[in-house]
Chains A and B, each alone.
Chain A
Amino acid sequence: MALLEAEGISKHFGGIAALTDVGLSADASEIVGLIGPNGAGKTTLFNCLFGLDRPDRGRVVFDGQVLDRLPVHRRVRLGIGRTFQRLELFAEMTVREHLLAAERARGGGGALWRDLLNMSAPTADERSRVAELLEMLDITDISDRPAESLSLGHGRLVELGRALATEPKLLMLDEPSSGLDRAETAALGATLVRVVAERRTGVLLVEHDLELVRHVTSRLYVLDFGHMVISGNTENVLEHPSFRRAYLGRTE
């Protein structure tokens, strides 16, 4: 059984069917792409998998466990990490503090008495893991800058680092390249490949940049109007006529 199995997911918003009977799977050490035109339901599917939206029907199994109505933070502790399409940074914190907070949350910290006894400073272990991550993402030089002063590209890396600090088995990335230029996108792709190789993390990638998708993903799912229209090996999918129809428009 794959790391993540979703089947029969349906979601309505009022009269709009955002997702109809959608399924997908993702496994460790692979990068799986999820593509489709704007409004196809990619982010809604992400939210259903992640627990931000509750699907009307369908079930999600992660690592052998049925997620069902589990709240977001419990899913994260099971090993699902995520970044967001629109940057969601902690405005008051520096880059390093972002990762330290995630590192602390992974350990399930937050007991009141530890705070009251002044025992909540970052441990040496936490610091060294964070330093390692910063190094891997090549953002050590900006690690003491406040989040608000970061460029979009750096912001995306911080989100990636923050998600990685929770030590996810599966990383869900929502359009990580949007707003980046070609060089930054290429660097991001290289980083992703490295993360998967080093940590055996599975990646589920929503992405519009087809070049990036072609380079890093091994399998692809294509969503269109809430339906999963095609899935399979990246190369086959990209050549498939129904992909072209969904993505590049219909020729009458």
Chain B
Amino acid sequence: MSQFLIYAIPGLPYGCVFALVGVCLVLTYQTSGMFNLAFGAQAYVSAVIFYTTVEDHHWPLWLAAVFSVLVVGPLLGIALDRLLYRYMRASTTTVKLITAIGLSIGVPSIVDFFFGSSEKLNPPSIAPHAAHTYHLGSYYLDGNGLFTVVVTVVLVVGLGLLFRFTAVGLRMRAVVESPRMVQLAGISSERVSMLAWILSSMITALAGLMLAPIYHDVDVNNFNLVLVTSIAAAAIGGMSNLPLTLAGGLLLGVGQQVLAGYLPLNSILAEGLRPSFPFIVLVAVLLLSPAVRRGRSAPDPLSGCDPPPPPLAASLRGAGLDRVSRVGLPVFVVAVMYVTLFQLSEHYLGLMTEVAIYSIIFLSFTVVTGFSGQISLCQMTFAGFGAFTAGQLATDHGWPFLVAMVAGGFVAAVCGAVVALPALRLGGLYLALATLAFAVMADEFLFPLNDIGGGEAGVDVPRPVLGPIDFGADRSFFLLCFAILVLVSFVVILIRKGTIGTYLAAMRGSEVAASSIGINLTRAKITVFALSAGIAGIGGALLASQVQHADSESFVYQYSLVFVVLVLTTGARTVEGAINASLAYVAIPEILSHFGTLSVLEFALFGFGTIAYVKHPEGILEFQKRSSIRKFNQLRARMKHRQDRPLIHGDDSGPGGAESGGRAPGIAGEVAGLSGAGDVGD
């Protein structure tokens, strides 16, 4: 028993932090419907400001703490709420998740821009007597740890009382149910939500200050790892139960330390356990907890008032424009190929190859998110499985690379099916969280293993050779990547046009109606998820083949987060969306690299793309395309209108008559343009 406690007690502060962050997640999820994946970023802001004011400007600790927790934290909460969240109350789970991820990428990049990205070691603790060790018999806890425990207990009890017994708490709970219903009852749901964000931002800031000393470093990655464990705590609480979340957090913190203590030192089990813990717990909760299994998020009762998503822009295109683009696209592609192959320098040829390869990886998002509406946060992990499999098979077992690459895609697809199986039924949030936890597990545990990622040295991945053709040269390798991109694009288009695409379109319209015509939704979703993982695996193998190397750093989970934000903001429903996202991903850092310090802002640009995404969830590209097609149609209708003027003048006496000029022909043009695609309106 005493041995147990010796391991358990140092786990308490960790457990408390997991619990506190878990409670924050539940609080904001319950009051605003946002699952705050930007927790790490918010905590980072406060922790950096605290660190800078104390270390560089020599503020007293208490002043810096009050400033960063009671001023910066709430201000950040208000800013986010005013600028973003208030527009998102009625948004889908996907939009909310992507926005939060966008912030988690963008905000730290802004912070580093202003405060410098140098390491911030040994941050001061806000606990009184932080360094003092408190003894109780043979057990001990340091001051920072004790402080963390006490603060957690006080905060959690306070929050519980607030929720249960105050009018504000009741309103917060009502806003979760339906913000619009609350408005109808005469309560400003905006104000209630803002209050919840202020509150949670304060706690988040405080958590940031308490966490940094535990890790001896102010690093956003540490905050994100804590976030992933806290997600498991929140899942134990069913995303709604504060006491259970608290217990879950404590269990996770103490459990990690205790198991690490009892397991043999330096064994695979001991090393792999901690990073795998969140994923294992999440999957166990998904499989075992009846509350979670039953707790499908109920849609907003008034969501029936929302208009359906707009049709694909391509369907608005008239026959004339269709012909132009049918001829124009191949001409454009051939021109790009010619310039790339014969005009560009080595450097830019390499960049174009990257564009082609990332396009392949990004198309895996088109399949999983664009078609089946699921969010996967571990696509780059699947790419890693593809790359390592291909590399190991080609280098160690002498397989031809192209065969090894296909095998890599297959392995990735199997991984995808296994990961998705427990979470797919629940979909949405839980799938996203489970994939995030899986990505972290792969990063910290699976990929560093010798048998998978080749350990420290990594894995050598050769360039492909096909019979007499050697793809070792950059030019031929570009051609190969481009050919595979074309192939994958066709696969994606065929899936969209085919039976599975039809089933998924039905599912996006109404899950219950789709199953009511006999569609096996689980099968369709798993097929698509595995296919998407397979595409990512093939892309990953090519990515590794380009630099002829892959190691555990090549496929870290942060990439998946950046990519999912980038592809969804650009447009996840079409092939050209993925290709444009890839262009942006390769071109923007290239351009920024010419501007010195500005290059830190790369991720801020990607991250804050989500602000546009909130207003146009179909993707910026789709939106642009639709509006330019509309404009073209208007223009054409106006020209036609001018020619036909005498005729129309005769029989049109409505308010949109020829004389009224100005806007009216525009509207007429729009209707004319629309009618090319199918009769709209009653």
Residues of A within 8 A of B (CB): 50, 52, 71-73, 76-77, 81-82, 84, 86, 88-94, 97, 100-102, 104-106, 108-112, 114-116, 118, 120, 144-149, 151, 159, 162-163, 165-166
Contacts and interface: CB of A to CB of B under 8 A. Distances in A.
A190 B499 CA distance: 34
Given A92-B508, A110-B523, A104 B678 contact: no
25 contacts: A52-B512, A71-B520, A73-B519, A73-B521, A76-B515, A88-B512, A88-B513, A92-B309, A92-B509, A101-B502, A101-B506, A106-B518, A110-B519, A112-B531, A115-B498, A116-B495, A118-B494, A118-B498, A120-B502, A145-B678, A145-B680, A149-B681, A159-B513, A162-B513, A166-B517
B510 A90 contact: yes
Contact of A106 (B517, B527, B679): B517
Contact of A89 (B510, B520, B521, B524): B510
Contacts of B519: 73, 101, 105, 110
B500 interface: yes
A159 B509 CA distance: 13
A90 B512 CA distance: 10
A93 B501 CA distance: 12
A137 to B, nearest CB: 16
A90 B678 contact: no
B514 to A, nearest CB: 7
B310 to A, nearest CB: 10
A144 B679 contact: yes
A250 to B, nearest CB: 30
Contacts of B495: 115-116
Among all A-B residue pairs, the 7 with the closest Cβ atoms:
A115-B498, A90-B509, A91-B308, A88-B513, A120-B498, A76-B518, A102-B517
B506 A84 contact: no
B128 interface: no
Given A118-B494, A144-B679, A165-B517, A91 B503 contact: no
Question: At the interface, is chain B mostly helix, strand, loop or mixed?
Answer: helix
Contacts of B527: 110, 112
A120 B515 contact: no
B3 interface: no
Given A71-B515, A90-B514, A105-B519, 7 more contacts: A72-B515, A73-B518, A115-B498, A115-B499, A118-B497, A118-B498, A149-B680
B677 to A, nearest CB: 9
Contacts of A90: 505-506, 508-510, 513-514
B259 interface: no
Given A89-B513, A112-B500, A146 B505 contact: no
Given A76-B516, A101-B503, A110-B499, A115 B494 contact: yes
B604 to A, nearest CB: 34
Given A102-B517, A112-B527, A144 B311 contact: no
B517 A76 contact: yes
A77 B527 CA distance: 20
B509 A166 contact: no
Contact of A86 (B304, B498, B506, B509): B304
B27 to A, nearest CB: 24
B652 interface: no
Interface size class of B (residues with CB under 8 A): 35 or more
Given A91-B509, A106-B517, A115-B494, A146 B680 contact: yes
A80 to B, nearest CB: 9
Contacts of B517: 76, 101-102, 105-106, 162-163, 165-166
A93 B506 contact: yes
Interface of B: 304, 307-309, 311, 491, 494-495, 497-503, 505-506, 508-510, 512-521, 523-524, 527, 531, 678-682
Contacts of B500: 110, 112, 115
B503 A77 contact: no
Given A82-B516, A84-B513, A166-B517, A97 B680 contact: no
Contact of B499 (A52, A104, A146): A104
A114 B498 contact: yes
Contacts of B308: 91-92, 148
A163 B518 CA distance: 10
B499 A149 contact: no
A82 B517 CA distance: 8
B345 to A, nearest CB: 38
Contact of A77 (B499, B505, B506, B518): B518
Nearest to A117: B494
B630 to A, nearest CB: 17
A198 to B, nearest CB: 20
A194 B679 CA distance: 30
Given A86-B304, A115-B498, A120-B497, A146 B518 contact: no
Contacts of B497: 115, 118, 120
Contacts of A91: 308-309, 508-510
A88 B308 CA distance: 12
Given A86-B304, A116-B494, A72 B502 contact: no
Q: Which residue, B308, B517, B521, has most C-beta atoms of chain A within 10 A? A: B517
Contacts of B682: 149, 151
Nearest to A148: B308
Contacts of A77: 518
Given A73-B520, A76-B515, A106-B517, A88 B510 contact: yes
A15 to B, nearest CB: 16
A87 to B, nearest CB: 9
A226 to B, nearest CB: 20
Nearest to A100: B502
Nearest to A50: B516
Nearest to B520: A73
A52 B513 CA distance: 11
Nearest to B509: A90
Nearest to A121: B497
B679 A145 contact: yes
Contacts of B681: 149
A73 B527 CA distance: 17
B611 to A, nearest CB: 26
Contacts of A93: 505-506, 509
Contacts of B494: 115-116, 118, 120
Nearest to A79: B518
B674 to A, nearest CB: 11
Nearest to B493: A118
A120 B500 CA distance: 9
A183 B523 CA distance: 42
Contacts of A166: 517-518
A105 B309 contact: no
A243 to B, nearest CB: 30
A77 B517 CA distance: 8
A118 B500 CA distance: 12
Contact of A163 (B508, B514, B516): B516
Contacts of A151: 682
Contacts of A112: 500, 527, 531
Contacts of A111: 499
Contacts of A102: 517-518
